[in-house]
Protein backbone atom coordinates (compact mmCIF):
# COMPACT_ATOMS: atom_id res chain seq x y z
CA UNK A 1 0.00 0.00 0.00
CA UNK A 2 1.59 3.22 -1.19
CA UNK A 3 0.49 6.43 0.44
CA UNK A 4 -0.11 9.82 -1.17
CA UNK A 5 0.86 13.01 0.61
CA UNK A 6 -1.14 16.20 1.04
CA UNK A 7 -0.03 19.52 2.51
CA UNK A 8 -2.49 21.37 4.73
CA UNK A 9 -2.37 25.14 5.08
CA UNK A 10 -3.28 26.38 8.55
CA UNK A 11 -5.90 29.13 8.68
CA UNK A 12 -4.27 32.42 9.62
CA UNK A 13 -7.55 34.28 9.85
CA UNK A 14 -11.18 33.28 10.17
CA UNK A 15 -14.13 34.68 8.30
CA UNK A 16 -15.64 34.88 4.84
CA UNK A 17 -12.91 37.12 3.43
CA UNK A 18 -10.18 34.57 4.22
CA UNK A 19 -12.31 31.75 2.78
CA UNK A 20 -12.99 33.73 -0.41
CA UNK A 21 -9.33 34.59 -0.90
CA UNK A 22 -8.22 30.97 -0.43
CA UNK A 23 -10.82 29.73 -2.91
CA UNK A 24 -9.47 32.20 -5.48
CA UNK A 25 -6.02 30.69 -4.93
CA UNK A 26 -7.32 27.17 -5.52
CA UNK A 27 -7.69 26.04 -1.89
CA UNK A 28 -10.73 24.63 -0.11
CA UNK A 29 -11.52 24.34 3.63
CA UNK A 30 -11.04 20.99 5.40
CA UNK A 31 -11.36 19.52 8.89
CA UNK A 32 -9.16 16.90 10.54
CA UNK A 33 -10.41 14.98 13.56
CA UNK A 34 -9.71 11.68 15.28
CA UNK A 35 -9.32 9.94 18.65
CA UNK A 36 -5.61 10.80 18.96
CA UNK A 37 -6.03 14.53 18.34
CA UNK A 38 -6.30 16.88 21.29
CA UNK A 39 -8.52 19.11 19.19
CA UNK A 40 -9.91 19.18 15.67
CA UNK A 41 -7.82 21.02 13.09
CA UNK A 42 -9.26 23.40 10.52
CA UNK A 43 -7.09 24.15 7.49
CA UNK A 44 -7.01 24.53 3.68
CA UNK A 45 -6.09 22.00 1.00
CA UNK A 46 -5.13 22.54 -2.61
CA UNK A 47 -8.21 21.47 -4.58
CA UNK A 48 -6.23 19.97 -7.48
CA UNK A 49 -3.99 17.93 -5.17
CA UNK A 50 -6.97 16.69 -3.19
CA UNK A 51 -8.83 15.74 -6.36
CA UNK A 52 -5.75 13.86 -7.58
CA UNK A 53 -5.54 11.96 -4.28
CA UNK A 54 -9.23 11.00 -4.48
CA UNK A 55 -8.94 9.77 -8.07
CA UNK A 56 -5.87 7.70 -7.19
CA UNK A 57 -8.18 5.20 -5.47
CA UNK A 58 -5.86 4.92 -2.45
CA UNK A 59 -7.47 4.55 0.95
CA UNK A 60 -4.75 5.83 3.29
CA UNK A 61 -2.99 9.16 2.74
CA UNK A 62 -0.36 11.19 4.54
CA UNK A 63 -1.42 14.69 5.55
CA UNK A 64 1.16 17.21 6.70
CA UNK A 65 -0.07 20.16 8.75
CA UNK A 66 2.33 22.67 10.28
CA UNK A 67 5.24 20.22 9.98
CA UNK A 68 3.35 17.34 11.62
CA UNK A 69 2.38 14.25 9.59
CA UNK A 70 -0.86 12.30 10.04
CA UNK A 71 -2.06 9.05 8.46
CA UNK A 72 -5.58 9.83 7.30
CA UNK A 73 -8.60 8.66 5.28
CA UNK A 74 -11.26 10.78 3.62
CA UNK A 75 -14.55 10.48 5.44
CA UNK A 76 -16.58 12.86 3.29
CA UNK A 77 -15.88 15.26 0.45
CA UNK A 78 -18.44 17.78 -0.77
CA UNK A 79 -18.74 18.98 -4.36
CA UNK A 80 -20.58 21.84 -6.03
CA UNK A 81 -23.85 20.45 -7.51
CA UNK A 82 -23.31 22.23 -10.86
CA UNK A 83 -19.55 22.55 -11.44
CA UNK A 84 -18.70 19.38 -9.44
CA UNK A 85 -15.69 21.23 -8.01
CA UNK A 86 -14.57 20.25 -4.51
CA UNK A 87 -15.79 22.66 -1.85
CA UNK A 88 -15.05 20.94 1.48
CA UNK A 89 -13.44 17.82 2.99
CA UNK A 90 -13.78 15.95 6.27
CA UNK A 91 -10.69 13.89 7.09
CA UNK A 92 -10.12 11.33 9.85
CA UNK A 93 -6.74 10.75 11.46
CA UNK A 94 -5.63 7.15 12.05
CA UNK A 95 -3.50 5.80 14.88
CA UNK A 96 -0.45 3.94 13.41
CA UNK A 97 -0.56 1.05 15.91
CA UNK A 98 -4.35 0.75 16.16
CA UNK A 99 -6.61 -1.21 13.85
CA UNK A 100 -9.35 0.68 12.04
CA UNK A 101 -12.52 -0.37 10.20
CA UNK A 102 -12.95 0.73 6.59
CA UNK A 103 -15.05 -0.12 3.55
CA UNK A 104 -12.74 -1.35 0.78
CA UNK A 105 -13.80 -1.47 -2.90
CA UNK A 106 -13.91 -4.85 -4.63
CA UNK A 107 -12.40 -5.50 -8.06
CA UNK A 108 -13.59 -8.56 -10.01
CA UNK A 109 -11.10 -9.99 -12.50
CA UNK A 110 -11.40 -12.70 -15.15
CA UNK A 111 -14.15 -14.24 -17.31
CA UNK A 112 -16.04 -16.97 -15.43
CA UNK A 113 -16.30 -20.44 -16.96
CA UNK A 114 -20.04 -20.21 -16.39
CA UNK A 115 -20.19 -17.16 -18.66
CA UNK A 116 -17.69 -18.26 -21.30
CA UNK A 117 -18.78 -21.88 -21.75
CA UNK A 118 -22.18 -22.31 -20.09
CA UNK A 119 -24.20 -19.29 -21.22
CA UNK A 120 -24.44 -17.65 -17.80
CA UNK A 121 -24.04 -14.06 -16.65
CA UNK A 122 -21.89 -12.64 -13.82
CA UNK A 123 -23.96 -10.76 -11.24
CA UNK A 124 -22.12 -8.32 -8.94
CA UNK A 125 -24.02 -8.23 -5.65
CA UNK A 126 -21.65 -6.03 -3.64
CA UNK A 127 -18.86 -3.63 -4.57
CA UNK A 128 -17.49 -3.01 -1.05
CA UNK A 129 -16.31 -5.13 1.84
CA UNK A 130 -15.73 -3.91 5.39
CA UNK A 131 -12.37 -4.82 6.83
CA UNK A 132 -10.33 -4.15 9.97
CA UNK A 133 -6.58 -3.65 9.81
CA UNK A 134 -3.66 -1.51 10.91
CA UNK A 135 -3.29 1.63 8.76
CA UNK A 136 -0.12 0.28 7.14
CA UNK A 137 -1.97 -2.91 6.08
CA UNK A 138 -5.13 -1.30 4.69
CA UNK A 139 -5.51 -2.36 1.02
CA UNK A 140 -6.60 0.12 -1.63
CA UNK A 141 -8.85 -2.58 -3.11
CA UNK A 142 -9.60 -6.29 -2.80
CA UNK A 143 -9.19 -8.25 -6.04
CA UNK A 144 -11.42 -11.30 -6.57
CA UNK A 145 -10.56 -13.74 -9.37
CA UNK A 146 -13.82 -15.11 -10.80
CA UNK A 147 -12.27 -17.15 -13.65
CA UNK A 148 -13.14 -20.56 -12.12
CA UNK A 149 -16.75 -19.73 -11.28
CA UNK A 150 -19.12 -22.15 -13.03
CA UNK A 151 -22.86 -21.74 -13.53
CA UNK A 152 -24.76 -21.22 -10.21
CA UNK A 153 -21.49 -20.77 -8.29
CA UNK A 154 -21.16 -17.88 -5.81
CA UNK A 155 -18.60 -15.93 -3.78
CA UNK A 156 -19.41 -14.86 -0.21
CA UNK A 157 -17.53 -12.72 2.29
CA UNK A 158 -16.45 -15.91 4.06
CA UNK A 159 -14.51 -16.92 0.92
CA UNK A 160 -12.22 -13.86 1.12
CA UNK A 161 -8.95 -14.16 3.02
CA UNK A 162 -6.17 -11.56 3.07
CA UNK A 163 -2.99 -11.49 5.11
CA UNK A 164 -3.04 -9.01 8.01
CA UNK A 165 -6.62 -8.05 7.17
CA UNK A 166 -9.74 -9.13 9.07
CA UNK A 167 -13.03 -9.30 7.15
CA UNK A 168 -15.70 -7.63 9.27
CA UNK A 169 -18.65 -7.93 6.87
CA UNK A 170 -21.14 -10.73 7.61
CA UNK A 171 -19.78 -14.08 6.40
CA UNK A 172 -23.01 -14.82 4.52
CA UNK A 173 -22.80 -11.57 2.53
CA UNK A 174 -23.07 -12.42 -1.19
CA UNK A 175 -20.43 -10.70 -3.32
CA UNK A 176 -21.06 -12.17 -6.77
CA UNK A 177 -22.69 -15.11 -8.55
CA UNK A 178 -22.93 -16.70 -11.99
CA UNK A 179 -26.59 -17.06 -12.94
CA UNK A 180 -28.34 -18.60 -15.93
CA UNK A 181 -29.77 -15.99 -18.31
CA UNK A 182 -33.47 -15.66 -19.17
CA UNK A 183 -32.62 -16.29 -22.81
CA UNK A 184 -30.98 -19.61 -21.88
CA UNK A 185 -34.02 -20.60 -19.80
CA UNK A 186 -36.38 -19.72 -22.66
CA UNK A 187 -34.24 -21.63 -25.16
CA UNK A 188 -34.33 -24.71 -22.92
CA UNK A 189 -38.13 -24.51 -22.63
CA UNK A 190 -38.47 -24.20 -26.43
CA UNK A 191 -36.31 -27.29 -26.96
CA UNK A 192 -38.41 -29.29 -24.49
CA UNK A 193 -41.57 -28.15 -26.27
CA UNK A 194 -40.26 -29.21 -29.69
CA UNK A 195 -39.28 -32.64 -28.37
CA UNK A 196 -42.75 -33.09 -26.91
CA UNK A 197 -44.44 -32.18 -30.20
CA UNK A 198 -42.27 -34.63 -32.13
CA UNK A 199 -43.23 -37.40 -29.71
CA UNK A 200 -46.96 -36.69 -30.10
CA UNK A 201 -46.67 -36.66 -33.88
CA UNK A 202 -44.92 -40.02 -33.81
CA UNK A 203 -47.67 -41.59 -31.67
CA UNK A 204 -50.41 -40.17 -33.87
CA UNK A 205 -48.65 -41.50 -36.96
CA UNK A 206 -48.48 -45.00 -35.55
CA UNK A 207 -52.12 -44.94 -34.46
CA UNK A 208 -53.17 -43.68 -37.91
CA UNK A 209 -51.24 -46.42 -39.65
CA UNK A 210 -52.82 -49.08 -37.46
CA UNK A 211 -56.30 -47.69 -38.25
CA UNK A 212 -55.65 -47.74 -41.98
CA UNK A 213 -54.42 -51.35 -41.82
CA UNK A 214 -57.59 -52.43 -39.96
CA UNK A 215 -59.80 -50.60 -42.45
CA UNK A 216 -58.07 -52.24 -45.42
CA UNK A 217 -58.41 -55.65 -43.74
CA UNK A 218 -62.13 -55.15 -43.22
CA UNK A 219 -62.58 -54.14 -46.89
CA UNK A 220 -60.79 -57.25 -48.11
CA UNK A 221 -63.07 -59.48 -46.01
CA UNK A 222 -66.13 -57.75 -47.42
CA UNK A 223 -64.97 -58.29 -50.99
CA UNK A 224 -64.40 -62.00 -50.35
CA UNK A 225 -67.91 -62.45 -48.91
CA UNK A 226 -69.45 -60.65 -51.88
CA UNK A 227 -67.78 -63.03 -54.35
CA UNK A 228 -69.14 -66.06 -52.56
For position 147, which CATH number holds? 2.170.120.20
Q: Tell which wins on pLDDT, 101 or 198.
A: 101
Relative to beta strand 154-156, strand 4-10 is: unpaired
Q: Which domain holds residue 34?
A: 4-95
Same domain as 118, residue 84: no
- Confidence (pLDDT) at 109: 97
Q: Are residues 22 and 91 in the same domain?
A: yes
Residue 131 domain-assigned (yes or no): yes
C-alpha dihedral (91, 96, 102, 104), degrees to nearest 10: 100
Given 95, 115, 137, which residue is the final one in a domain?
95
In terms of domains, do 88 and 106 share one? no
Same-domain status, 84 and 111: no
What are the residues facing 41 on neighbouring strands? 32
Q: Name, in order, each residue with C-beta under 8 angstroms of 166's C-beta and a sequence gap of 6 or more.
A: 99, 131, 132, 133
Would residue 37 count as lying in a domain?
A: yes
Q: What are phi and psi of 69, to 5 degrees?
A: -95, 145
> Are residues 114 and 34 both part of a single domain?
no
Let me know the angle formed at the C-alpha of 165 by 138 and 146, rounded to the nearest 5 degrees: 95
- Residue 109 or residue 198, greater confidence: 109
Q: For the segment 129-167, what is each residue's pLDDT rounded down to a tens digit?
A: 999 999 999 999 999 999 999 999 999 999 999 999 999
| Residue 147 and residue 108 share a domain | yes
What confidence category does residue 197 fall into, taking pLDDT thresholds of 50, 70 and 90?
Answer: low
Q: Are residues 90 and 10 in the same domain?
A: yes
pLDDT at 188: 58
Residues 83 and 145 in one domain: no
Distance CA 59, CA 140 (A): 5
Q: Is residue 207 part of a domain?
A: no
3-state helix, strand, coil in the chain (%, to 5): 30, 35, 30
9 and 75 together in one domain: yes
Same domain, 36 and 91: yes
pLDDT recorded at residue 140: 94
What pLDDT score does 210 carry? 52
Of 62, 79, 95, the last residue of a domain is: 95
- pLDDT-derived band at 3, boundaries 50, 70, 90: low
pTM: 0.71
**Residue 182: per-residue pLDDT:** 75
Q: Which of the pair, 185 or 169, is modelled with greater confidence?
A: 169
Domain-embedded: residue 203: no
Query: What is the Cα–Cα distance from 65 to 62, expressed in whole angstroms?
Result: 10
Distance between CA atoms of residues 104 and 67, nearest Å: 30
Whether 15 shows a pLDDT value over 60: the answer reads: yes
200 band by pLDDT with thresholds 50, 70 and 90: low
- As for how many domains the chain has, the answer is 2
Please give the average per-residue pLDDT across 183-209, as a whole number: 55
pLDDT in tens, 76-128: 999 999 999 999 999 999 998 999 999 999 999 999 999 999 999 999 999 99
What secondary structure does DSSP assign to 90-104, as a single string? EEEEE-TTS-EEEEE
Q: Is it the case that residue 205 has pLDDT exceeding 70? A: no
Average pLDDT, the chain: 84
- CATH number where 22 lies: 2.40.240.10
Q: Does residue 63 fall inside a structural domain? A: yes
The whole-angstrom separation of Cα 198 and Cα 204 is: 10
Question: What is the rounded end-to-end Cα distance, in angstroms, of the chain?
Answer: 109
Amino acid sequence: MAESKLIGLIKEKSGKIELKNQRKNGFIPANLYGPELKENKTFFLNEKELNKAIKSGKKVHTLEIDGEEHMVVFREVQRHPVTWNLIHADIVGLTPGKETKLNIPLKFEGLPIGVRDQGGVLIINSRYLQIEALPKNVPDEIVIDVTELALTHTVHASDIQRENVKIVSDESMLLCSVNITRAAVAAGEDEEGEEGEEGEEGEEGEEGAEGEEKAEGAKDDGDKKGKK
